[in-house]
């Protein structure tokens, strides 16, 4: 069964996603990222400028097939035609269709109400479907 993890209280969802992607790619993982076109564009822009020493290879699902197959990170509005099913990073507001085909799903939830409310609905959906959820609360990791 698919592992589902929620990362709550993220101050900057796109920057946090970049760090998650860098870590996953450094470990040899293949990741599909879903979200709105605007969020995916922000992530694409941020990944190009994220670090002067690290590059996270990525492309859009609509890119040339050879580029898609060579990229460990695929930015996709839908999971329908993705080439691999290891990790799904959801930056969208809805439960991604086809999520159950992936080994892992990571949900990134920001601090604002517009992000938290849909996340609660996604949490409820996953639990209603019988998925055991892992919770990572970033406020608990901040030193005081």
CB atoms within 10 A of CB 61: 20
Nearest CA-CA partner of 16 in 39, 144, 66, 93: 39
What are the DSSP calls for 60-103, one per residue? ETTS-HHHHHH-SEEE-S-STT-S--SEEEE-SSSPPTTGGGSS
Residuewise pLDDT in 10s, the chain (144 residues) = 999 999 999 999 999 999 999 999 999 999 999 999 999 999 999 999 887 788 899 999 999 999 999 999 999 999 999 999 999 999 999 999 999 999 999 999 999 999 999 999 999 999 999 999 999 998 866 554
CATH number of 3-141: 3.40.50.10110
pTM confidence score: 0.94
**1 with 87: CB under 8 angstroms?**
no
CB atoms within 10 A of CB 12: 12
How far is Cα of residue 28 from the mean position of the Cα atoms in its chain? Answer: 16
Boundaries of every domain in the chain: 3-141
Query: Which residue has 């959820």 as its token pair?
Result: 133
Q: What are the φ/ψ torsions at residue 129 (nearest 5 degrees)? A: -85, 0
**17 with 91: CB under 8 angstroms?**
yes
């Amino acid at each position: 069964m698919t592992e589902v993890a929620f990362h709550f209280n993220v101050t900057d969802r796109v920057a946090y996603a970049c760090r998650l992607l860098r870590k996953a790619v450094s470990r040899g993982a293949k990741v599909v990222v879903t979200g709105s076109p605007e969020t995916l564009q922000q992530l694409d822009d941020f990944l190009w400028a994220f670090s002067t020493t690290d590059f996270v290879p990525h492309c859009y699902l609509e890119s040339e097939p050879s580029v898609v197959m060579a990229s460990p990170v695929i930015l996709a509005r839908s999971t329908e035609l993705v080439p691999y099913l290891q990790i799904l990073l959801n930056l969208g507001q809805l439960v991604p269709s086809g999520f159950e085909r992936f080994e892992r799903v990571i949900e990134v939830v920001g601090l604002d109400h517009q992000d938290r409310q849909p996340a609660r609905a996604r949490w409820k959906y996953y639990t209603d479907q019988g998925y055991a959820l892992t919770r990572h609360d970033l406020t608990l990791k901040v030193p005081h």
